[in-house]
Every structure is written in structure tokens, then in C-alpha cells.
A and B are shown apart, each in its own frame.
Chain A
Amino acid sequence: MEILNEIIEILPQVLEGFKVTIEIFILTLVLSLPLGVVVALIRLSKIKLLKEISKIYIIIFRGTPLLLQILFIFFGLPLFNITFDRFPAAILAMVLNYAAYFGEIFRAGILSIDKGQYEGAEVLGLSKRDTFFRIILPQALKRIFPPVSNEVVTLVKDTSLVYVVGLDELLKIAKIASNRISSIMPFVVVGIVYLIFNGIISKILEYCEEKFNYYN
């Protein structure tokens, strides 16, 4: 019974923490997906300078820990007189990091489309822009659905890193409650919350994947 009381007692804070987690998750996802398309396009562009810039960007953001990137944007950039608030700093770091990964996934998707598709579009007299947005991208999106889903689920868990700028997200809330009542129960509770949330996300992604599969 005592355990039940403990759980009931921490639920309101868990909800508060979940709100922060979900805000970070949604904002990061909504901003990094389109940015990923841009990164992929720049990476595939014929202009050498742009290509190199995007390569360096991807090396930096895939090659260093996300935690370090958050630290650098919040604590390091003020040395160069660029100061962000806690929340925007966390979002910016997460978006830049995830856009690098999404960019590479999108690039793989775009490259996997058969040359014949471009030739067919050209024969039909489609402009380059239309070819990309109407023919190539929709097909690429279908193919990259599984790796993107992977990243989305990872993103839910990576939101826990923003504790470092002092944001009280779900895992931090559990840590606080655990310290206060000196029990590991809060960790179990938030573990279940993460699981349920990711379960729902996985179901939605599965549904979308099926919907995308209209040709098969």
C-alpha cells in the first residue's frame, strides 16, 4: 500500500516532467525533419563548397556526443557573446544533432531511387523541382520510414539529456523524487511512462508506414 501511495504522490510531478519531455520531443522532431531534407539536398548538391560545408556539419554533429553539444551551445557560446535561454539552447542543440542524422538517412533514401525515375520525369517534361518534390521525395520517404522510426524512438529517450541545462524533464523529476523519498520507485514509474509513450509512438509510426505502402 505504501508503494501505491508513493506512486500517487509523485504522479502530478511526473506529469509536469512529461510535459517538458514531450515539448522537447515534438519541437525537435518538427524542426529537425525538414532541416534534415535541407541537409540532404545540400549534401547532394553539385556546388562543391556547399557539399563540403554540409559534410563538416555532419561530421561535427554526428561525431560528438549530444550532451556535449547541448553544453557547448548553452555554456560555451556565451563566451562568443551569443546567449540562449535554457529551453531554446536545448532545442537548438537537439535539432542540429537530429538534422545531421536525418540528413544522412534522407540522402540514402534519395540516392536509392532508380535513375529511370529521373529519366521518366524528364521525358514527361517535369521541371527539376517538380521531379524532386513530386517523384523522388515521396518515393524516398517510403523507403526511409524504418530508419526514421528508429531515430524518432531514440529521440524520445535523448530528451533526458536536457537536465544538464537545468530543465526538469521526466528523468530529472524521477531523480528529485528519488532523492526526496529515498526510494527507486520513481525511476520505475518514469520508466513505465517512457515505455507507454514509446509504445504509442511506435504504433503511430507503424500505422503511417502501412499508409505509405500504397503501391504494394
Chain B
Amino acid sequence: MKKIKNIVLGITLGVLAFSLVSCGNNKSKEANTLEKDKLVLGFDDTFVPMGFKDENGEYVGFDIELAKAVGEKLGKEITFQPIDWSMKETELNNGNIDFIWNGYSVTEERKEKVAFSDVYLDNRQVIITLADADINSKKDLANKVVGAQNQSSAVDAIEKEPEVLSTFKDGSIVTFDTNNDAFMDLEAGRLDAIVADEILAKYYIKQRGEEKYKVLAEDFGKESYAIGMRKKDEALVDAINKAIDELIEEGKAAEISIKWFGEDIVVK
């Protein structure tokens, strides 16, 4: 039984040592992010078609390819770190990641927390319903159950129109972990409408069958995708903007856009 005691002791010490070793390397202390050889891109790897894991376990998507091209321009290695989307700004400001780069919409609220690059994609917040629903305008959403992705810019966009939001059933939005969950709920008939990024919505509608849905002409406003960085990393913001401009000039950005969206929708 002495054995048991030794094992207990050994493992307890192991836990302690393990915690101590893992301590201490505070990455956010790095003075200038641009001087690092490796930059860490944080993204939600469930976010098709901007950045996600494909069937081979590789990270792919429009943003991933654009980021790789930018990395080549800057002569830096870009590593891709999946994060939980609701924690993105905390991940950035803690220094765990150097960019939020994954269909990240520019909003006033976010501008206070992060520094944005130039806008590289335009987007709208569209309203999607089932094809046979009798909803044709925002007005028809009165007393309907409306869903969106939790912590997404769709939620921000709806909240910007409180007079519309207050007419929803219970005066609130049902939020989901992913847009896919929202689509499944719409199909199950528990949701009457979804508000989502047009780019994302198009992907899902294509996947699930275009005849099943309709996208309303009215929307919850236009918005733009940009890359989020720490406020103090001004030099990095400039470098990224320059690299993307060059990629647009060379036609590389258009090439990536056509590959993922079927058309060139990059903002020039």
C-alpha cells in the first residue's frame, strides 16, 4: 500500500509542477506585434464559407486564403487558431491571437474595442424565411419568432432598430450558437425568420436547397467585413492594408473571391 501513497504523492506534485510550467509566458507583453515572425489569426472554425475546417481537417475559406496571401506579402508565417466566437475580443486583447479575421463586421461598438483594417467585403443583414411563409416585409415580422447567431452583427443590426425588435414575439431575438442551428430551427418551424449575413445565408441556402427559402427585399442594413486588431498595433494595421491593396491590384483577391463566392465582391 506504500505504492498507492507514493503514486498519490507523485501525481499531486506532478499537477503542481504542470501548473507552474504552464504559467508565466504572457504573450500580450510583446511590444510590437509586427516584429513577430509568426502571427496568430483567430477565427471561428465553424464559420463557412469564410474560414472553417474542410473534410480533410484543413482550414479553408475565403478569409483563410486571403490571410495566407497577405502572410506571403508580409513575409510572415500565419498560424490559424480556432476560437469561440463569443470570446473573440477577449482572445485578441489577452494576446492569444493577433487578428480577428473571419467575416468580422465593422460596428460602432466593436470600433471601441479593436482597430479595424480597411473594409474588404460588403455585406448586408438579410431576412430569410421559408418559401411559403406569409412574411414579405419587416412589418410582417410582428409577433413572429426571429432568430440569429449569438454575438453576431445580425443581433447588433436588429438592436439598432428597436421599433422593429419590439414587435417580435416576446420583444426579443432567439439566439443560436451557429447560423446552421438557426436554419435547422427555421426548417423545424419553431422560427419564423432568420437574420443573417448575406454571404453566409447564400451558402446555407445553396446547401439546403434554394427552393425552400426566400430572402426578403428589405434588410437590416448594410455592413462591411474588416480585420480586427489590437488598438496599439497601428503598424500592423497599416501593413495589412497595404498588403491587401497590393493583392487587389494584382487580381489575386478577385481570384480568391471568385473561387469562394462565384463572383468578385471584394471592395476596391
Q: Which residues of A contact B (CB under 8 A)?
A: 9-10, 12-13, 16, 30-31, 34-35, 37-38, 71, 75, 78, 81-86, 88-89, 91-92, 95, 129-130, 133-134, 137-138, 163-168, 172-173, 175-182, 184
Contacts and interface: CB of A to CB of B under 8 A. Distances in A.
Nearest to A78: B94
Contacts of B42: 166
B136 interface: no
Interface string B178-194: 11100110000000000
Nearest to A134: B1
Given A163-B84, A164-B87, A12 B27 contact: no
Contacts of B72: none
B21 to A, nearest CB: 8
Given A133-B4, A166-B82, A167-B82, 5 more contacts: A38-B12, A82-B24, A88-B22, A133-B2, A176-B52
23 contacts: A16-B57, A31-B18, A34-B8, A35-B12, A38-B12, A81-B26, A86-B96, A129-B5, A133-B1, A133-B4, A138-B1, A166-B81, A166-B91, A168-B82, A175-B46, A176-B52, A178-B178, A179-B47, A179-B48, A179-B179, A179-B180, A180-B55, A182-B207
Given A34-B8, A133-B4, A180 B53 contact: yes
Contact of B55 (A9, A34, A91): A9
Given A165-B84, A166-B84, A178 B23 contact: no
Contact of A179 (B11, B15, B178): B178
A129 B2 CA distance: 10
Contacts of A16: 57
Interface in B42-101: 42, 45-48, 52-57, 81-84, 87, 90-91, 94-96
B14 interface: yes
B53 A31 contact: no
Contacts of A133: 1-2, 4-5
B26 A35 contact: no
Contact of B90 (A13, A75, A89, A137): A75
B54 A180 contact: yes
A176 B26 contact: no
Nearest to B42: A166
Q: How large is the interface on B (under 10, 10 to 19, 20 to 34, 35 or more residues)?
A: 35 or more
A176 B46 contact: yes
B204 A182 contact: yes
Given A133-B2, A182-B207, A31 B87 contact: no
A38 B15 CA distance: 12
Contacts of B47: 179
A34 B5 CA distance: 9
B4 A12 contact: no
Nearest to B209: A182
Contacts of A92: 19, 22
A133 B2 CA distance: 7
Given A78-B94, A166-B81, A178 B180 contact: yes
B60 to A, nearest CB: 10
Nearest to A84: B22
Contacts of A75: 87, 90-91, 94
A160 to B, nearest CB: 12
Contact of A38 (B8, B22, B87): B8
B139 interface: no
A184 B184 contact: yes
Contacts of B56: 12
A152 to B, nearest CB: 17
Top 10 A-B residue pairs of the complex, sorted by shortest distance between their CB atoms = A88-B22, A182-B207, A166-B83, A34-B11, A34-B8, A134-B1, A179-B180, A133-B1, A179-B46, A83-B26
Nearest to B25: A83
B7 interface: yes
Nearest to A173: B53
B85 to A, nearest CB: 10
A81 to B, nearest CB: 6
A8 to B, nearest CB: 10
A78 B97 CA distance: 14
